[in-house]
Amino acid sequence: MSDPFQNNPDLVACAKIVERGDPDRFAAVMAAPVAARVVLFPIYAMNVEISRAPWVTQEDMIAEMRLQWWRDALAEIASGGFVRRHEVVTPLAMVLDAEGAKALDELVLARRWDIYRDAFEDQAAFDAYIANTSGLLMEQAARALGDQDGRAARALGWATGLANFLRAVPDLEAAKRVPLVDGRPEAVQALAQRGLEALAEARSMRGAVSTQASPALWAGWMTGPVLKRAKHQPVLVATGELLPSEAKQRARKAWVQLTGRW
């Protein structure tokens, strides 16, 4: 079987974007079969580019325009007609159907929070941000690989998004953002516990995820360890030390790759 990446510079570009911008998901994709990589790399590259858009400029209007560009590209994919030529959009149009493209528009809209310095209005707004970024991304990645259920992907996606957001708290605060609705240690512990409950919910539905679709959920390979550390040592959120040692990370990655269990 020929390598689909060998003669497709767009797929190679997508892989490089993910490798640079999202090393955790890159590691998860590289553990997947080649057929899954063809689907996942364009979706994850899109996510990297969208998540970067609010941060590459100090001008709010320019950031809004960058996000609108992606909304327009997704609308073209959803319409089934002309799709602009672009190293990410072109292969993305090959793996997203109209329903998936329309759903991911909510991901772009959610990223508008990253442009401004306003705090989340309340916990419900924070929860929606996590659901519409990481939760939606994992759900649609799994759906693109054939998942027809979606519940496990949504739950794991939310838990993974929370874990990643907690890891990003120091950088967000350095950028003059107000990342948490309530930053007290006991509130962080409660939030991490909610993430662990979402992870447990996803695991209880693992059997509903097909072998073909399961690589989309491997992106949650560090979710459990990070949330456990946040729950037991909430101070690690502020210090940016939620990741365990590199040795433990390697062991965890190897276990997930071997078993496919997250």
Q: What is the pTM of this model?
A: 0.95
pLDDT at 66: 97
pLDDT in tens, 163-206: 999 999 999 999 999 999 999 999 999 999 999 999 999 999 99
d(CA 255, CA 249): 10
pLDDT in tens, 211-247: 999 999 999 999 999 999 999 999 999 999 999 999 9
Domain ranges for the chain: 1-116, 117-262
d(CA 49, CA 59): 17
pLDDT in tens, 59-112: 999 999 999 999 999 999 999 999 999 999 999 999 999 999 999 999 999 999
Mean pLDDT along residues 113-142: 97
pLDDT in tens, 29-54: 999 999 999 999 999 999 999 999 99
- Is residue 60 within 8 A of residue 116, CB to CB? The reply is yes
Q: Which amino acid would we find at residue 75?
A: A
- pLDDT: which is higher, 133 or 254: 133
pLDDT in tens, 127-141: 999 999 999 999 999
